[in-house]
Structures are given as structure tokens and as C-alpha cells.
Structure 1
Amino acid sequence: MEKYFKRKLPLESEVTLLVSSTKKKFLEFNVKSLVANPGQRPKISNYDPNDRDEVRRAYLQKGPCQPREHDFSQIYFGTSLRRFNADWFDEFDNWLEYSISKDAAFCLCCYLMKPDGASGDAFLKEDFSNWKKKERLQTHVGNHDSAHNQARRKCEALMKQKQHIEVIFQKHSDQAKRDYRTHLTATIECITFLLRQGLILKENACAFYVHCFAHQLQLALVVVAKKQVEIALLFNLLASLCNIVGASCKRKDMLCESQMQKTIVALQNGDVSSGRGLNKKTTLKRASDTRWGSHYGTILSLISIFSSVVEVFEVIEEDENNPEQRAEACQLLNHIQSFEFVFNLHLMKIILGVTNELSQALQRNDQDIINAMTLVKVSKQQLQSIRDDGWSSLLNEVSLFCDSHNILAPNMNDIFVTQGRSRRKIQKVSNLHHF
């Protein structure tokens, strides 16, 4: 019918009314009026497009909202009470936020940089409050190209905008741009070549490729160590100890209180020295396969506060209302108060002590492949020396530790008793031969 009738044009007043009704009203930007509580903030899209980067910079300069001294409320998940753990701020310090009013966690990077309507986990959609699923925090971080890491990189680029590649590129002349593009292409080709060289290490012993010396060392140590069943069990037990103590603020307070009382007694008896920087508060450090030296730190912390850890687990075994947790505490006590656990603990302390020094040296920014090869060679010589001549000192150290903590040490000449296997199928060897 449109071809038979001429379309009527809208009046000027109607056009003006339509434009005014569809025009969106934006929030005014004022640094002093920025909402700190992540559960009450307006969306970034509510600000004028010309002000949004300034809003983002202001929030990034203030940092994430982390009320560390707040008494976090407990809620039931099934039959267990759970709550937000302030230690998570240390583990995810540059993005994790907490809203007291909503009792929920938020991600600062994703709030600032995620597009409207983006799909993803609870952080991208709104907030997170499932405190029994702490692993969701790491899941949110994800891999290198995850939504969170993309948002994080955008935040970093925003704070370094004058150094950002796009800004620099716009300032250069056409010839400089062509030169830069040629240089960048050559760099990528070199990196690709080195990556391919790294793939033939097994076939050619002279081919070397190192992406990050210390990170490669950490991953290699963890993989090799866990191939030994006893050491894999050691790391599993260490993780269980950290999880059980770290899951409750009450237990962490018990551990700190017990260690403080022992330190006071030791100072009064003259067993330890006093001074600035000495006898600091120590707690169990959580290990991570990808965190440099974390396993070594966990082992050192457990050795230094071993008796306090035993006391905490004895309290859990006796007073905990949950029978499953009491049983788990009893099982862990039996494991950690065994000679084999203490032996493996001190053995890995010595080995990781050598590799930790190597890791610290490899983390230097000016490290190169030649020095790295030399450092690895020296560390291998140290480990071989420990293997050849370190047995007596290790056994003496383990025996002293067992004596001071009332742990029964076996006679090295007796037959080793294997737990959990048929003894008819196991070759009989002495404890000395086994250890």
C-alpha cells in the first residue's frame, strides 16, 4: 500500500521529543563520590563514555575493596558453616574484592573492563558467595587468554597508557612504523625458531630453550618428586594440613597462640635468641606447583611449628563436632608423627634448599643461558655430594627431631615393615637399606 500513499513526515516537534526521550542520562564523575563498596557500585556503562577511562583509573589507583579486619559472617552450606577467608586477599591481592553489605566477593578488573552482557562465571555475571568452593577463585582467573586475564591486561594498559604500544605507534612517522613492523616480525620469527628448538631437546642434547629458568625448574622438581610415591604422599599430607588449618580462623588463631606460648617459654629458658626481626609469627604456608619455592617454604614452616600443629590437630580430634573431621585429624596425626614422614620431610628440605638457591639466582632479570647452565651444574654437584656423603648428617638430624617430639625412631638394623601391602610379595630389607 505504501506505493499508493505518500509517507507523512514527522513534525519537527515530534522529532525533538523523540530525541529527548531516547537520550540517556549519564552519571557525573567525581573522584570523591566514587562508591567503594563493590556490591553498590553503578555499572561503568552508566558513566559518560568520555569519563569512563577516568573512572577506571580512579578505581585502579584506590585498589580493590578489601576489608581485612571485618568479622566475616558465617552461613550454612549443608551442615557446615563457611565464610569468606581474609587470607584470600593475599592470594588474589590485585583483583579480589569483598562487599560487606552483600557478603559476596567481586572482581575489580572484570567490573572495570568486562563488556555488558558478557557470559562467564559468577564473577562475570554478578558476584560470588559460595565459600565452600574456594577453587572457583582460581577457576575465575583461568588460563592466559581467559576473560579475567583479558580484563586485567586492559587495566594494566590503561594505567600505562603513555607507554602503550598503540599510543607510541601513533606518534611515529610512516618510516618508523615500517621499521618497527620489520623489527617486530623478525623478533616473532626468532621466538618461533627458539620454540621449535625447545621441542627437540630429547633428540639433541646441544639444543637449549629457556622461557623462564626458575619457572621451568619449579615445574620439573614437582613432576620428578611426585613420581616417587613416598614424596607424593608427603606433598599430599602437607596440602591436607594447610587446608584443614587454613579453613578455619579459629584453628589459625589456635596455631598462632600455641606457637606464641612456646616461643615465650623458649625465650625464658634461653633456647632461642631475642632481637629485631627474630621470632616472627609463623603459620603454615600453602604450596603451589607453579609458585617458586612454595614447597620449600611449606616444609620449613611445618618443621619450625611442628609441635604446635600437632596440638591443634589433637584439639580437632578431641573436640570437633564433625566426626569426619575428627577421623581425618586422627589419620593425619598418625601420618605426621611417623618416622617415615619426618625422614621424607627433612630429606626434601635439604634437596629443595639446594634448588631454592638455584631458583633465586635464576629469577634475576640479567640472567643468561650460559650462567644458567653453570648454576645448574653446580647444583647437580651439590645434590650428588649430598647423595654420597649426606646420609649420616640427615639421619642424625631426623633422629634429633624425633627425640624432641616423642616420635618413635626404628632400629636401622631391623627388617623394614611395609604398610598396606602383602608381606609375602615384598622383598625383606632392613630399615637402613630402605631409607
Structure 2
Amino acid sequence: MAEEQSQEQLHHILIPVVTEERHQEQEPSPICDVDRLEHDPGLRVPIASYNVNDQNAIRREYILKGPCQPYAHDYPTRNIYGLPCCGHDESEESSNKGNFLELLDWLAGNNEEVNKVVLKNAPRNSDESSDISHKEQLALCLHYVDKLGRLQLIFVVVAKGNVGCATFFGQVSRLLNIIGVSCKRHDMLRDVRAQKLKTALELGEIDSGSGLNQEMVITRPGDTRWGSYYKTILHIIDMYSTIREVLITLGKDPKQRNNWPNIHAMVDVLESFEFVFNAHLILIILGYTNELSQSLQKRDQDIVNAMSLVTLAKGRLQQMRSHGWEEFFEEKVKLFCIKHGIDIPALDGRYVPHARSPRFYPVQTIDDHYRREVYIGVIDQIR
């Protein structure tokens, strides 16, 4: 039946025409009736079904007709679950404002403090205030749920509000500029790490097996890539001794003399207690947000699920703030410093910022600075 229909289509499309110049005994040369060519690709007769002498002509006619644009087609509908940012109509009366405003409505209805400063209650006494309120609403929602990879970036931006953390991220950027400036330095990192792994395996210090001791690459954090900041800092900590050895080697290489000031300064930063402390603090916090971000990335997440994940992350941060200092300092920071020969300052001593002028800092103990100002301060900013 299908073959008969194809033959019938061919019969209607091709119209034989005899030109005056041709001899009467020659077969007529068919031309196409463009109006009879089926436009829908699903209903077209395959070009290979035409006579080989007509195929190019048919192909040209289809090109001239242009792409098929179906009108009034009844497409099947289905329910799609996800977290779109905006709806088609974001007005107050809309029943589908998009998850940005729907989530904001939900937050306002469940938190009086939030309700006071968002949506119709947002400050509007000037253009600047309105601008700020919109940015605060956006930041608020991104703190809770985001499908575009910005959740962790918001935590980074907030953490940068702390002077010590802002300094740390600047140090990480300079470190990456030094060790990632060329393929040769990447190779140095890889070779030194490989030798260290080999030695550790021979001494039985680490286990071997599938998936263990894989090669690590330190890359610059991306603006939208999921978990990029987390992975960068994780690799810096895991490859700490390798990075330090490469920097020291570069700092002694006469060929790198022009870059010695930057390299020597970076070694000094890397070996400071302040750098180690900040690296471990940011790693733990980003670890919580990384798990949340990965979960929110799944297509089947809905707002209720997302909010439960947010609640879990906030609970972890609260636990860390209230009861996590001793474990963090003793089992993370202190053990790392002992392992790598980093000087641990007396906590009752006076805090002096590393490689920065003390005139811009209040007189305080080391314990007060690291525990209250950095540890608790950063957690409070992002909770």
C-alpha cells in the first residue's frame, strides 16, 4: 500500500514535457510541479525513489521551498517537573510566576523577617534602594536554590565579605597564575606527585586499588561550573606538598629569576598558618554547598525537596558553628600543620596579619581572630 502511494505521488509530481529541440524519439524530460511536492519531511517521498535523472531537480525544488514550518499542529502535552527561573507572567495575580517568585512567596509566608523586606514590602524610597532590594531578593533565593550553578558562587561571594577569606581567594588566584602559567609547570606538578605516590605506596603509607590515587589537575575556578571552587581548593590541600616542592624548585631555578619575587612570596604565603586555616575552613563550607548543588542539579528535584536539602545544609552549618570548632581546629588544621611543618601560633598571643599591615586590624588575640572573626564570622554570613 505504501509503495502504491509513493508511485501515485511520483505520478502527480512529475509532469512530462517534450522540448522542441529534442528529437521525437527521445523520452520526455520530466519537470516538477512544486505545489505538489509534500512539504512535511515525514510524508515526503524519498528522493532516491525518483529517477536518477530527476533527483537533482527535485532536491533543488525542496531547497527553494525552504524549511517546513508546521502550523496549527496539535502537539501532545505532558507535565514537566523542574525549577525554571521565571514564568510567563510574573504579576501579583499570576498563577504561574516561575519558581523565583513562587519560592520568594513561600519564604515570605514562612519567615516574617524575610516578608518585611521582599516583594511588595521591599524598600522603594529611591531608585538606589529599589535596586538594592532586587539584588538582595536575588541573592536570597540563590542562597536557597539555583539550577544554573550559581549556588556555590553565592557562598564564595558572601565569604569574600570577610577580609581574611577575600585575601585567601586572592592568594589562590596568584598561586594558580604561577603553577598554571605553562604546560611545563603542569608537567612538573604531575611528575612530582607521581614520584610522591610511588614512594608512599612502597612505604605502605597509602593503599593501591582501582579509583585510588588518581591524577589531579589544579584548574582555575570557573564562574558557572558546578563545584569548581570546591575542587580547586580540595586539590590544593591534597597536593600541598607537591605544590610547595614545585614552587621551591622554581624559586631556585636561575631560568625563573625574573619571577623569583612572586614565587618566593607565594612560598611564604603557602607556608603560613593563615593560609592553611582559611583553606580548610572554605573547603568544609564549600563541601556542604557542593553536595547541595549536586543534588539540586538533578532534573527531578522540586521545590519541596530543594527546601529540605537547604534545611539539611543549614543544620550542618549550625552544628559546625555551635560544636565544631574543637574538631575543626585540632583534627583538621592542627594535624595538617604538624604533618607539613607549619608553625602553629599560640592562641593567646596577639594576632598579626600575615604579609599585611597590622594598622588596619584591631588589637585582638589569635584565638579571637580565627575563632570569632573568621570561623564564626564566615558561617554567620552564609547561614
Q: How does the TM-score come out when normalised to structure 2?
A: 0.61
Instruction: Kindly indicate whether the alpha-carbon contact (under 8 Å) linking 1:195 and 1:209 is maintained by their aligned counterparts in 2.
Output: no
Deviation at 1:289, TM superposition (A): 2.9
Inter-CA distance 175–331: structure 2 relative to 1 (3 Å threshold):
closer
Inter-CA distance 415–274: structure 2 relative to 1 (3 Å threshold):
same
Instruction: Kindly indicate whether the alpha-carbon contact (under 8 Å) linking 2:90 and 2:101 is maintained by their aligned counterparts in 1.
Output: no
Percent identity, please.
Answer: 37
Count residues with an aligned counterpart: 262
- 2:201 aligned to which of 233, 248, 267: 267
Inter-CA distance 196–258: structure 2 relative to 1 (3 Å threshold):
closer
Deviation at 1:318, TM superposition (A): 1.1
Query: 1:289 and 1:318 mapped to 2: Cα distance?
Result: 34
Match of 2:381 in 1: none
Match of 1:378 in 2: 312
Letter in 2 for 1:427: P
Inter-CA distance 349–366: structure 2 relative to 1 (3 Å threshold):
same
Instruction: Kindly indicate whether the alpha-carbon contact (under 8 Å) linking 1:215 and 1:290 is maintained by their aligned counterparts in 2.
Output: yes
Letter in 2 for 1:350: I
Q: Does 1:417 align with 2:332?
A: no
Deviation at 1:421, TM superposition (A): 2.8
- 2:242 aligned to which of 279, 283, 308: 308
Match of 1:349 in 2: 283
Deviation at 1:351, TM superposition (A): 0.7
Q: Does 1:203 align with 2:203?
A: no
For CA contacts below 8 A with separation 6 or more, give which structure has more relative contact order: 2
Inter-CA distance 297–320: structure 2 relative to 1 (3 Å threshold):
farther
Inter-CA distance 175–314: structure 2 relative to 1 (3 Å threshold):
closer
Instruction: Kindly indicate whether the alpha-carbon contact (under 8 Å) linking 2:276 and 2:337 is maintained by their aligned counterparts in 1.
Output: yes
Give me the CA root mean square deviation: 3.2
Match of 1:291 in 2: 225
Task: State how 1:151-190 maps to structure 2 within 5 Å.
Answer: 167=68, 170-172=69-71, 174=72, 176=74, 188-189=88-89
Instruction: Kindly indicate whether the alpha-carbon contact (under 8 Å) linking 1:214 and 1:360 is maintained by their aligned counterparts in 2.
Output: no
Q: Secondary structure at the match of 1:381?
A: helix
Match of 2:272 in 1: 338
Structure 2: give runs of 5+ residues left out of the alignment.
1-58, 61-66, 78-85, 106-113, 123-136, 371-383
Higher Cα Rg: structure 1 or 2? 2
Q: Does 1:227 align with 2:142?
A: no
Match of 1:151 in 2: none
Q: Secondary structure at the match of 1:414?
A: coil
- 1:361 aligned to which of 291, 295, 302: 295
Query: 1:377 and 1:422 mapped to 2: Cα distance?
Result: 39
Instruction: Kindly indicate whether the alpha-carbon contact (under 8 Å) linking 1:194 and 1:209 is maintained by their aligned counterparts in 2.
Output: no
Inter-CA distance 317–194: structure 2 relative to 1 (3 Å threshold):
same
Structure 1: give runs of 5+ residues left out of the alignment.
1-49, 52-165, 180-185
Query: 1:383 and 1:224 mapped to 2: Cα distance?
Result: 14
Q: Does 1:194 align with 2:98?
A: yes
Could you report, residue by residue, the CA deviation over 1:324-371 in whole angstroms, capped at 9, with x for unpaired residues? 411111111111110010000001111111111111110010111111
Could you report, residue by residue, the CA deviation over 1:300-345 in whole angstroms, capped at 9, with x for unpaired residues? 1111111110111111111153444111111111111100100000
Deviation at 1:232, TM superposition (A): 1.6
Inter-CA distance 240–375: structure 2 relative to 1 (3 Å threshold):
same
Match of 1:428 in 2: 363
Could you report, residue by residue, the CA deviation over 1:189-246 in whole angstroms, capped at 9, with x for unpaired residues? 3699438838997424999977843624123112101111211221222222222222
Deviation at 1:427, TM superposition (A): 3.5
